[in-house]
Amino acid sequence: MLKPATEEDLAEVLAAATEPFAITGGGTRGLPLQGAPLSTQGLSGITLYEPGALTIVAKSGTPLAEIEAALAAENQMLAFEPPDYRSVLDTDGAPTIGGVVATNASGARRVQAGACRDFLLGARFVDGTGEIIKSGGRVMKNVTGYDLARLMCGAHGTLGVLTEVCLKVLPRPETEATLTLSQLPPDRAVAAMSAALTTPYDVTGAFYGPCNANQNPQAHIRIEGPEASVTYRIDKLNDALSEFTSEMSVETADRSKAIWDDIRHLRFLTANALVMRSAISSSRIANALDRRVFATDDYLDWGGGRVWTSVTTDVLKTASDTLEDDRAGDPDEGASMIVGLVREELAFEGGHSTIVKASPRVTASACVFQPERTELARMAVDLRRKFDPKGLFNPGLMR
């Protein structure tokens, strides 16, 4: 595997290259990449960390764990809580900060604090001609030129290989607590989470699942801050949400941490022959779920704005059986069908859905990302051609 040790080395490699690369950080995301493996892990280390300015600069291949340890030592954190996909994808390796940025990996606190893209202040990358490019910087307000750094965030390495990123960090909250509401059907749970998120009490997490009344679903609502403040706000929320259910409990710091740690590591995704991640308005999610034909397991984060959908092999087979031809019984056929159905319902409700895990056959035919409308798709091709004229970067991943 190619692991350039400096930005200049990487630039040289890319300037000379004619064949595609599979660009990875720690390789924990199991994406269907084609080409010769090229990892950013050789570009590693924290370049600058200024706790008093709430900023950290690190080379893209720096392990996320190293960054989080440095931040923790100063009582700070990456507020967007990047999820860890290793347990659900059964991958090993260490997530890198560049991988986090390239995939805009954002977790539960996104609903209040923002996504990775919101905390990205600047980036350096090498484009497909070997040119080294910087955008943004290391200050919190910067409107100098177009925001290419944010464009790189979520582009999955298809526009350039990140070499360095600068992120805004936040103080770690003193403590936390979680309000758990039980026995709510999905529509009522979404209403309760919306009610919580529209109070002034600064809810920093709103998660619910599974969306199946027979499986003891729970809604978790998190409050963080100084001890006295957390106690006060939990009390207020308790009152505000009492109309939704009488089955409400308060999880104090340790238990609360464990709940959100499980969410961050996606440990709730146990039945996972097919896993999808969708974005939708929380006001439309209940409608979308009502249209489900097959028995998917759905979990809602961001107060209903993000949906994790996981499907067992049995359900995939059941889906394929409805084809009533020689495709019946083939889980891949079922998966393709369910991906199509989920995307159709999300498109109808104004959202989109990404495949997190599926067999290679399914991702090859269905595409990891929900296809864009025609004109935006054409612009995406044009944009890629301009940043990567030789077609070097993760070809076929975004299309």
Partner 1 sequence: MQMPSPSPEIVAKKSRIVARLEEALGAEAVISDVEETRAYECDALTAYTCPPLCVVLPSTTDEVAAALKICHAEGVPVVPRGSGTSLSGGALPTADSVIIGVARMNDVLEVDYPNRTMRVQTGRTNLSVTGAIEDDGFFYAPDPSSQLACAIAGNIAMNSGGAHCLKYGVTTNNLLGVKLVRMDGTILDIGGAHMDAGQYDWLSVICGSEGQLGIVTEATLRILPKPEGARPVLIGYKSAEVAGACVSDIIRAGVLPVAIEYMDRKVIEVVEKHANAGYPDCEALLIVEVEGSPEEIDDQLGVIKQIARKHDPVEVRDAGDADEAARIWLGRKSAFGAMGQINDYMCLDGTVPVSELPYVLKRTGELSEEFGLAVGNVFHAGDGNMHPLILFDANKPGDLETCEALGAEILKLCVEVGGCLTGEHGVGIEKRDLMGVQFSAADMEAQMRVKDVFDPAWLLNPAKVFPLDASETRRTAKDAA
CB-wise, 63 or 304, nearer to partner 1? Answer: 304
Give yes or no for residue 373 binding partner 1 (CB under 8 A). Answer: yes
Figure out which of the listed residues 9, 12, 68, 174 binds partner 1, where binding follows CB under 8 A: 174
CA distance 337 to 334: 5
Figure out which of the listed residues 228, 258, 295, 364 binds partner 1, where binding follows CB under 8 A: 228
Which among 12-20, 21-29, 85-93, 348-356 is the span making contact with partner 1, rule CB under 8 A? 348-356
Give yes or no for residue 354 binding partner 1 (CB under 8 A). Answer: yes
CA distances from 78 to 55, 81, 104, 113 (A): 10, 6, 13, 10
Figure out which of the listed residues 4, 26, 351, 395 binds partner 1, where binding follows CB under 8 A: 351
Nearest in space to 275 (alpha carbons), one of 88, 50, 71 = 88
Which among 164-172, 179-187, 215-223, 241-249 is the span making contact with partner 1, rule CB under 8 A? 164-172
Nearest in space to 219 (alpha carbons), one of 234, 206, 203, 238 = 206
State in Å, rounded, how far the first CA of the chain is from the last one: 25
Contact 123, 135 (CB under 8 A): yes
Between residue 296 and residue 335, which ones bind partner 1 under the rule CB under 8 A? 302, 305-306
Interaction pattern, residues 35-54, with partner 1; x per rule: CB under 8 A: ---------------xxxxx
Nearest in space to 371 (alpha carbons), one of 338, 337, 334, 397 = 397
Give yes or no for residue 254 binding partner 1 (CB under 8 A). Answer: no
Contact 36, 21 (CB under 8 A): yes
Alpha helices in the chain (DSSP H): 7-16, 64-73, 86-89, 97-102, 110-113, 116-119, 148-152, 186-197, 227-240, 253-264, 285-290, 313-321, 331-348, 360-366, 374-387
CB-wise, 9 or 330, nearer to partner 1? Answer: 9
Q: At what angle do helices 331-348 and 313-321 cross, to 10 degrees?
A: 90
CA distances from 53 to 58, 69, 167 (A): 15, 18, 11
Give yes or no for residue 141 binding partner 1 (CB under 8 A). Answer: yes
CB-wise, 64 or 398, nearer to partner 1? Answer: 398
Q: How far is the CB of 326 from partner 1 (least distance, A)?
A: 33
CA distance 28 to 84: 8
CA distance 356 to 337: 16
Peptide bond into 226 cis (omega under 30): no
CB-wise, 6 or 281, nearer to partner 1? Answer: 281
Which among 14-22, 146-154, 211-219, 253-261 is the span making contact with partner 1, rule CB under 8 A? 146-154
Give yes or no for residue 282 binding partner 1 (CB under 8 A). Answer: yes
Interaction pattern, residues 196-215, with partner 1; x per rule: CB under 8 A: -xxxx---------------
22's CB contacts (< 8 A; 6+ apart) are 33, 34, 35, 36, 37, 38, 394
Give yes or no for residue 144 binding partner 1 (CB under 8 A). Answer: yes
Q: How far is the CB of 314 from partner 1 (least distance, A)?
A: 29
Give yes or no for residue 226 binding partner 1 (CB under 8 A). Answer: yes
Which among 151-159, 263-271, 318-326, 327-335 is the span making contact with partner 1, rule CB under 8 A? 151-159
Which among 63-71, 129-137, 311-319, 324-332 is the span making contact with partner 1, rule CB under 8 A? 129-137
Looking up tokens 């484009």 gives: 127
Interaction pattern, residues 74-113, with partner 1; x per rule: CB under 8 A: xx----------------------------x-x---xx--
CB-wise, 214 or 373, nearer to partner 1? Answer: 373
